[in-house]
Structure 1
Amino acid sequence: MQLSFHGAAQTVTGSKHLITLENGTNILLDCGLFQGLGSQTEELNQDFGFNPSSISYVILSHAHIDHCGLLPKLVAEGFNGPIFSTAPTMDLARILLLDSAKIQEQDAEYLNRHLEAHEDLHYPLYTENDVINTINKFKIIEYNEVFHINEDISFVFTDAGHILGSAAIHLSIIENGKETKISFSGDVGRYGDLLLKNPQVFNQSDYIILESTYGDKLHKDTAPVEDSLYELIRETCVINKGKLIIPAFSVGRTQELLFALNSLELKNKLPDLNYYVDSPLSAKATAILKNHPDVYNNGVKGIMRIDEDIFNFKGLRFIENVEESKALNNEARPCVIISSSGMADSGRVKHHIKNTITNKKNTILIVGYAEPRSLAGRLVSGAKEVQIFKNTYFVQANIQSLHSMSAHGDCDDLLQFLTNQDPKLVKKIFLVHGVPDVQNAFANNLEEKGFKDVIIPSLGESFTL
């Protein structure tokens, strides 16, 4: 069998990994949208690197757009098989993909209104109707259930602890009478996460496809998340009378922020301000998370005994329509605005950054991983000026980051994820979802732990297993 890499290869976006068997069966692990790669992004999202109609099955690790965001395009271009996922992943994918289609249509409309004479018209990658056709192909599989696709192919989902519904995928494939076990980590969460349970252990694998986003780092912020948030709110909004803008993914990160702010209120420390969540998607995702309380860790379940709504507090308001969102730009009072997307390359948050970035009173807080070429990544790297909607803006606002809020495990978390694996029995580890410098450092660490064949595949590269 062959394993080829068509996304998240020496980058952290566009997750797509293809297993091809000798009988022509094609199993696609994830089908993610490329994000935050500058001028390359559009080109990479146009071409899968394989024929969509040739794919037999899709197994989806979780609902983040960089893992599921090209599924509607795959379906529109000929894929007609099942998409296997957990139930929460299907619930989240529905709202995320519909939102993605809507954002693409809005962005295309905006860009076409400001088209230069020499430029071609912009079109969305897929429509809302494509999304509906895609969701109809989902088949729900429970955690820890051995599901047999056919007599030669089976798999198990284990909880990856990354976001609601996230799973690592563990395949057993029999070919020519020989069984091969392949594990794909998806995105590995944190041990000791604010909200979710720890990643589960898994049985011995022959080959492991492992994410490596923070493979060279440790999430060791000097203060707990809620304390860091309190200090930034106090300095920006109370002392400087400015706005705190937080780009945050609608699924996972936004809920962690709301939980931390609610914790401040429970301790009577939350400043008396308006707190806006400017993302209709975030409201829907928060409601879905409330419907799956079984995913919470024991600490959160303890808090729920004294506070039944852990995502609500005084001053919180969810912004629904575009008019309300635009009105925030004219809001003179200090406030906190949480808005998607997390890398600040699309969605309403780009407009909020555009309208606050040149004022020293304001702060832009990055609370998760940001691809270096994304707007959030450029701000974190110290850029003095940035392009937003084709215009140049000088960075005068205070730029801060809070790495401990990342839903991706750090180096120690990734190593702990592999604890139950005997390195001598793992034939190869393929590092994906990371940038080369980080992956090289992590590969060295893995080799020191006894994993002797660690590979960093490039985009489109194929290997015989």
Structure 2
Amino acid sequence: MRISFHGAAQEVTGSCHLVTCRGRNILIDCGMFQGRHELVDDNAAPFGFDPAAIDLVLLTHAHLDHCGRLPLLVKRGFRGEIIATSATRDLARLVMLDAAHLQEEEERHDHRHGRNGGAHRALYDTMDALDAVDRFGREAAYREPLELFPGITATYFEAGHILGSASIRLDLEEHGQRRKVLFSGDIGPDDRPLLNDPDPPGDADVVVMETTYGDRDHRDLDASVEEFLSAVRHAGSRGGNVVIPTFALERTQELLWFLREGMEAGKLPRALEVFLDSPMAISATRIFQRHPEAMRPELAGMIAHGRDPFALPQLHFTRETQESIALNEIRSGAVIMAGSGMATGGRVRHHLLRNLARPECSVIFVGYAAEGTLARIIIDGAKEVKLFGEHVPVRARIHTINGFSAHAGRADLHRWLARTGNPRKVFLVHGEPKSMQAFARDLDPERVTMPKPHESYAL
């Protein structure tokens, strides 16, 4: 029995871990590296294993940095089964097809401008994404063991991160030895409005654990909501727009929930114009409505009684490109939510181009921003950024509200780990080195390992 780490090893993105047992090769996640420009090369590089030799992929959730290289895995020879929860399956299909479309668009853009073979060479296309969708097989239900092969069983547990997200425990038996190996996936915080709390199992011999926020806690959620509503109100009173770079999965739906509650409480005008300018976020919101079984009972009850928890009086969905371009003519009174959340691509960059230089406007960041991303550059205080070849001064009010994070903070991570029994080994992954090191200082150094890319360990 062995484990090796081929992504999210001493970095935040690209989750990909390989377990070998009884001659079977089981991959947990196959995500895309995101952030710095040079990660384009990391995504195109060999996986560190033979894709054709992989028997199964167990998917923890549908974020791009966990599922985004599945089409490339299939393109390079994987012919096994992908197992996920029902909600993750629906969301992953959406995410992979969107990623393929964006890569195709960027490659066409390079060709149009005479940059053949440029930085935006597509890793895969829509057909590859559809081929990956075809590899999805059995659907996992929380706390219901699935026998993968003789001596190898997988059990999914609620992770509370996004809809359908899971931690996965592998129960392995080989040559008379038994191991319970738990993969945290991404862990959500407790007491969120949409999803159930994380529900880790009580026993594990080995834990592979995310540490995105292993060095700090988030601000109180109620205070974050009040700051968010206040920022939206004040931009309107100054005669400006609000631009919110947002992640299509979970964050968008949570913000719609808080905006609706703010209107119902009289903290925001019900006539506030809100534009959801993200085809993927629009589709993801529909998928949420399709999976009440993966939500808190109160939310599921609303849907069962015909109430849309994400409906606003003046909510506009802008799917078409021309509809998005038309938003450039709105000078005040609009809340524009668009991807990507780290502002590395997507329609939000166009809205930043039009609004970032205007002091009456506000830009609200509500999620994690990896080093090197445009979001991180703005958050860190840049006075000027470059967008579409233009140098744009940063004059809008910048708000960073980290209390909305879908990741557990330091204290929540420790509580989660405390509920996994007494593991003899803890591998820390999916975090910047300073975050992992800070989290590791609170643990027994004899039990903690921070693996490097492609390192392999006996279980």
Residue in structure 1 matching 2:261, options 260, 263, 266: 263
Contact 1:209 1:429 in 2 (8 A): yes
TM-score when normalising by structure 2: 0.94
1:441 aligned onto 2:435: no
- Residues 167, 200 of structure 2: 8 Å contact kept: no
The equivalent residue for 2:6 is 6
| 2:449 equivalent in structure 1 | 455
Task: Show the counterpart of 1:337.
Answer: 336
Residues 104-123 of structure 1: pairs in structure 2 closer than 5 A: 104-115=103-114, 120=118, 122-123=120-121
Displacement after TM superposition at 1:325 (Å)? 0.6
Query: Does the Cα contact within 8 Å between 2:70 and 2:132 map onto a contact in 1?
Result: yes
Cα separation, 1, equivalents of 2:437 and 2:447 = 13
Alignment of 1:204-353 (within 5 A): 204-221=203-220, 223-237=222-236, 239-271=237-269, 272-298=271-297, 300=299, 308-353=307-352
AA aligned to 1:9 is: A
Unmatched tracts of structure 2, length 5 or more: none
What TM-score comes out, normalization by structure 1 length? Answer: 0.93
| Deviations 1:124-174, CA, capped at 9 Å, x for gaps | 111111111111111212111111111121110001011110000000111
| Number of the residue aligned with 1:69 | 68
Residues 383-422 of structure 1: CA deviation (Å, up to 9, x unaligned): 2222334443332222111111100010111112123233
Deviations 1:324-348 (A, max 9, x none): 1111122223211001111111211
Assess, with a 3 A threshold, how the Cα gap between structure 1 residues 132 and 222 changes in structure 2: closer, same or farther. Answer: closer
**Contact 2:159–2:199 (Cα < 8 Å) also in 1:** yes
- Give the whole-Å Cα distance in 1 for the aligned partners of 2:395 and 2:2: 50
Task: Show the counterpart of 2:48.
Answer: 49
Provide the C-alpha distance between the structure 2 equivalents of 1:61 and 1:184, rounded to a whole number of angstroms. 8
d(CA) in 2 for partners of 1:288 and 1:4? Answer: 33
Which residue is equivalent to 1:126? 124
Q: What CA distance in whole angstroms lies between the structure 2 residues aligned with 1:9 and 1:201?
A: 22
Aligned sequence identity (%): 39
Letter of the structure 2 residue corresponding to residue 20 of structure 1: T
CA–CA separation in structure 1 for the residues paired with 2:252 and 2:2? 38
User: Would the aligned equivalents of 1:144 and 1:156 in 2 still touch at CA under 8 Å?
Assistant: yes
Tell whether the 8 Å contact from 1:115 to 1:121 is kept in structure 2 after alignment. Answer: no
Aligned residues of 1:226 and 1:261 also touching (Cα < 8 A):
no
Equivalent residues of 1:112, 1:121 under 8 A apart: no
- Mapped partners of 2:164, 2:202: distance in 1: 20
Change beyond 3 A, Cα 1:119–1:59: closer
Match of residue 183 from structure 1: 182
Amino acid at match of 2:240: G
Counterpart-to-counterpart distance in 2, 1:222 and 1:201: 22
Q: CA deviation at 1:109?
A: 2.3
Cross-structure match for 1:59: 58
Query: Are 2:18 and 1:18 aligned?
Result: yes
Could you tell me which amino acid in structure 1 is paired with residue 429 of structure 2? Answer: V
Report what 1:136 is aligned to. Answer: 134
The 1:394–1:333 alpha-carbon spacing in structure 2 relative to 1, beyond 3 Å, is closer
C-alpha change, 1:111 and 1:353, in structure 2 (3 Å) is farther
Aligned partner of 1:32 in structure 2 is 31
Shifted more, 303-312 versus 71-80: the winner is 303-312
Provide the residue aligned with 1:428 in structure 2: 425
Once the two structures are TM-superposed, the CA of residue 302 in structure 1 deviates from its matched residue by 7.2
Which amino acid is the alignment partner of residue 193 of structure 1? R
Q: In 2, distance between residues paired with 1:220 and 1:4? A: 35
